Amino acid sequence: MLGRPDHLAEEEEKNKCASVKRVKMKLKELESCLQQVDGFEEPKILLEQYPTSPHIAGCMLYTIHNTFDDIQNKLVADLGCGCGVLSIGAAVLDAGLCVGFDIDDGALDIFKGNVEEFELSNIDVVQCDVCSIGSSYGKKFDTVIMNPPFGTKHNQGTDMQFLQTAISMASTAVYSLHKTSTRDHIQKKANDWKVKMEVIAELRYDLPASYKFHKKKSVDIQVDFIRFTPT
């Protein structure tokens, strides 16, 4: 018996995602939805563009939604949204509105295509340099989610710039991924900024070989999933 053509199977999966929206989703259902999100075609090393896997994104969003109730009916920002896997996941979990912020027009074109494919109306996008947002969105969002650049290579300190911007934008909580090796440094910054830092989970981030200089197919990086809240 012939299997279903790939494009029909994908369409069926996206329709299923739309139908379960506003219903309490299981983690596996959420991951399955996020597997349909198109990723970077030509990632840019200068912007540290690495994909957030459906598994990592699903675990993040499922925890934010079910443990802390910080997505449903909330105004959510996704900083450095890339192709939109976190934004789309938040929208599927019934965010009041999720707004993605990114500087790269190529990634945002893919983001917009993904939104059209999923037929989501509770999602928007802003093209800008996250590090230059300043106070224009001060406390305008309930929740900020992000997988920021790790601040290595050409972007030293970018992770802290993203985090400081996120904290300025969120009235309730910031959820972010950071290399475990930087935990003490981040805790010191959190103390300086007078925010509470809670490591929710320690994860293994599978970094695929996205660039020509990568020798291995993938590398596991120890990553903290952290929640920041006002003190």
For residue 214, give the nearest of 53, 83, 54, 45 by alpha carbon.
45
Residue 172 belongs to a domain:
yes
The CA distance from 98 to 95, in Å, is: 6
Look over the chain and give the mean of its residue pLDDT values, rounded to a whole number.
86
| Per-residue pLDDT tens digits for 194-215 | 999 999 999 987 765 444 444 5
Strands 218-230 and 170-179, by their bridges, are antiparallel
Q: At what angle do helices 85-92 and 54-66 cross, to 10 degrees?
A: 40
Closest CA to 203 of 220, 188, 189: 220
Mean local confidence (pLDDT), 108-131: 95
**Domains identified in the chain, total number:** 1
* Residue 16 within any structural domain of the chain: no
3-state secondary structure of 100: strand
Q: Note whether residue 57 is domain-resident.
A: yes
DSSP summary character for residue 211: S
The count of other CB atoms within 10 Å of the CB of residue 45 is 14
Burial of 143 (0-12, 13-18, 19+ CB in 10 A): buried
How many angstroms separate the CA atoms of 189 and 136, rounded? 22
Range of the domain at 74: 24-230
In a domain? residue 104: yes
pLDDT at 187: 98
Span 125-161, pLDDT tens digits: 999 999 999 888 999 999 999 999 876 666 678 899 9
CA dihedral (27, 221, 114, 132) positive or negative? positive
What CATH code is carried by the domain that includes residue 206? 3.40.50.150
pLDDT in tens, 43-98: 555 555 577 889 999 999 999 999 999 999 999 999 999 999 999 999 999 999 99
Residue 17 lies in a domain: no
For CA atoms 187, 56, 105, 18, the dihedral sign is negative
Q: Where are the alpha helices (DSSP H) in the chain?
A: 6-20, 27-34, 54-66, 85-92, 105-118, 158-169, 183-192
Query: pTM (2 decimals)?
Result: 0.86
d(Cα 173, Cα 167) in Å, to the nearest integer? 8
Flag whether 218 is in a domain.
yes
- Please check whether residue 7 lies inside any domain of the structure: no
